[in-house]
Amino acid sequence: MDKKVEELFRVKEIGFMGKVTASLSHEIKNTLAIINESAGLMGDLLRKDAPEDWPQYSRLANLLASIEDQVQRSADIVKRLNQFAHSMDKSLAELDLNETVRQTVILAQRFAILRRVNLETQLEPKPLHLQSDPFRLLYVIFGFIERAINCSPREAEVRVKTERSGEMFQVTVTDQGTFEADNLRELVSTSPSAEGEKAESDLAILAQTTEALGGTIAAEQEDGGLNKVILSFPARVPGR
Amino acid sequence: MAEYRVLLVDDEEEFVSALSERLMLRGIEVDSALNGEEALARLVEKEFEVVILDVMMPGLGGLEVLRQIKSTHPDTQVILLTGHGSTREGIEGMRLGAFDYLIKPVDIEEMLEKMKEAAKTVRTS
């Protein structure tokens, strides 16, 4: 298939996924609203009519409060799902890199918790406005955060920093994990035309996606065992 | 006597039923409609200070209902209910003249506060 047609197909496929996910998240919100009001009504009726010395009163009240808490928790998850779905709306949009990183870290938080890794952010105080592909940017940043989480020991910290560096906007992912600088540099510099396992590795694909966004990747290891991956993105995706 | 009259419009019957009862327990006079056409018909029959209006409904959507309410009943205040995390419908609704918007699932105390403010503007206008 022609590369341009392939790219168009990919954009449409992602847009389809985003549209359906957003629609489903809206339906989930409706059911959460029903559960919320039903539990709320049960609480209202309990407070209105049930004697407080009824043995099950406080137990029921606590259970209803728990339902309301879990409804809110679900609503927050659905909000994240919806934001994620909407990142697929357009293949080019005006963004604040801080907001993209914030959203990505929220999505990655569960993965960090499962690995007992502390995921922190250090965001540039001012907005960092750029034009890019929202979904691909999210994918790249998430990919490098996930890599850092997976190679970190328990209780270690992964830090995601944003800053402006000249004309470029940088996302730096720092970890305290096992790191092979040469290996990482080789994988991220694998040419798209290369064949075999290396070209298809997750890191090679992340690197190629970064390149497609007009970005670059640098990998460093500092004294004291801190490893850094620095993603640099331009204000505009070249050629778009 | 109720402080103000509210019309609750949403296509989810169980949501409307539970929320209506909760509002009535709090002394609010509530009527309901399960779609946009029914809502507009109710507004012809009776005066309401506040309409709580779901944005996403089959058939006549919330924003079109809002447009029609502001055209035929300009003094009636409309508070939109939206399920979307992004508040695009909310912002569009404000542009069309909605008083405010709430994101589902709604905190009833927050809803009561907004309804009170909305009703106040109707009484003082």
Residue A199 confidence (pLDDT)? 45
Q: Could you give the angle at which helices B88-96 and B62-72 cross, rounded to 10 degrees?
A: 10
Q: What is the pTM of this model?
A: 0.82
Q: Is B86 on the interface with A (CB under 8 A)?
A: yes
Across the A/B interface, how many CB contacts are shorter than 8 Å?
A: 62
Q: Rounded to whole angstroms, how far apart are CA atoms A230 and A144? A: 10
Average pLDDT over residues B84-103: 83
Residue A180 confidence (pLDDT)? 65
Coil/strand/helix, residue B51: strand
Strands A118-122 and A157-165: what pairing?
A: parallel
CA distance B125 to chain A (A): 32
Structural domains counted in chain B: 1
Question: CATH code at B44?
Answer: 3.40.50.2300
Q: Is B91 on the interface with A (CB under 8 A)?
A: no
Say if the Cβ atoms of A48 and B56 lie within 8 Å: no
For tokens 């309409």, name the residue: B51
Q: Is A82 on the interface with B (CB under 8 A)?
A: yes
Residues making up chain A, counted from first to last: 240
Question: Could you give the percent of chain B with pLDDT greater than 70?
Answer: 94
Q: Cβ of A223: how many Cβ atoms within 10 Å?
A: 5
Q: Cβ of B13: how many Cβ atoms within 10 Å?
A: 11
Determine the straight-line distance between the first and last CA of chain A, rounded to whole angstroms. Answer: 22
Contact A172, A145 (CB under 8 A): no
Tokens linked to A166: 């000249």
* Residue A102 exposed, middle or buried by CB count within 10 Å (0-12, 13-18, 19+): middle
Question: Could you give the percent of chain B with pLDDT greater than 90?
Answer: 79
Could you list the residue range(s) of the whole structural domain that residue B13 is in? 5-124
Q: Cβ of B46: how many Cβ atoms within 10 Å?
A: 10
Please enumerate in sequence order all residues whose Cβ is within 8 A of that of A190, keeping only pairs 6 or more positions apart, or say none. A198, A199, A201, A204, A207
Reported ipTM: the value is 0.89
Under-70 pLDDT residues of chain A: 1, 179-200
Mean residue pLDDT of chain B comes to: 91
Contact A158, A119 (CB under 8 A): yes
Q: Is A232 on the interface with B (CB under 8 A)?
A: no
Residue B85 confidence (pLDDT)? 47
Residue A1 confidence (pLDDT)? 65
Residue A86 confidence (pLDDT)? 86
Q: Cβ of B125: how many Cβ atoms within 10 Å?
A: 8
- How do residues B14-67 score in pLDDT, each as one tens digit? 999 999 999 999 999 999 999 999 999 999 999 999 999 999 999 899 999 999
Contact A50, A57 (CB under 8 A): yes
